[in-house]
């Protein structure tokens, strides 16, 4: 578990005032491996933070994405998910159970052609298929 003082310092380094609600949202994102939606974040934090609003969650997640403290993933139609891990990695979504998993990626090893003259601003690697648990359960 990351210390609240470390999280607050991280927010300050990015020019963000570390309010209690922002700290709770940031902590949840950093600890969650489920790639939650904004609604997931809201529902998870509401019991211990009754003054939290959905608007605050959406605005805070947007701020974290703009400041590169989180990544917004568009891996399902119409539903953004968020990842507190901003390191270089890819995502795999299981089409059966819906789980989203991280996997390591060596971006420099990807063979990409046809982008001469372009400036790449983001690099996302996404695969979709059936996860090992679902494959095992279907045997």
DSSP structure string for the chain: ---HHHHHHHHHHTT----HHHHHHHHHHHH--S--BHHHHHHHHGGG-TT--HHHHHHHHHHHHHTTSSEEEEEETTEEEEES--SSEEEEEETTT--EEEEE--GGGS---S-TT--------EEEE--HHHHHHT-
131 is an annotated ligand-binding site residue: yes
- Residues 94, 134, 31: CA angle, nearest 5 degrees: 55
118 is an annotated ligand-binding site residue: no
97 is an annotated ligand-binding site residue: yes
Write out the binding residues.
94, 97, 106, 131, 134
List the binding residues for Fe cation.
Answer: 106
């Amino acid at each position: 578990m990351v210390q609240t003082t470390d999280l607050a310092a991280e927010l300050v380094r990015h020019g963000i005032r570390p309010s209690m609600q922002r700290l709770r949202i940031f902590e949840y994102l950093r600890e969650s491996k489920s790639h939650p939606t904004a609604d997931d974040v809201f529902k998870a934090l509401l019991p211990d933070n009754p003054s939290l609003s959905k608007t605050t969650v959406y605005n805070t997640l947007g701020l974290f994405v703009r400041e590169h403290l989180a990544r917004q993933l568009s891996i399902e139609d119409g539903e953004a998910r968020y990842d507190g891990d901003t390191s270089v990695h890819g995502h795999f979504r299981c089409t059966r159970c819906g789980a989203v998993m991280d996997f390591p990626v060596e971006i420099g090893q990807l063979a990409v052609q046809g982008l001469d003259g372009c400036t790449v601003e983001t690099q996302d690697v996404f695969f979709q298929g059936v996860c090992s648990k679902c494959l095992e359960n279907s045997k």
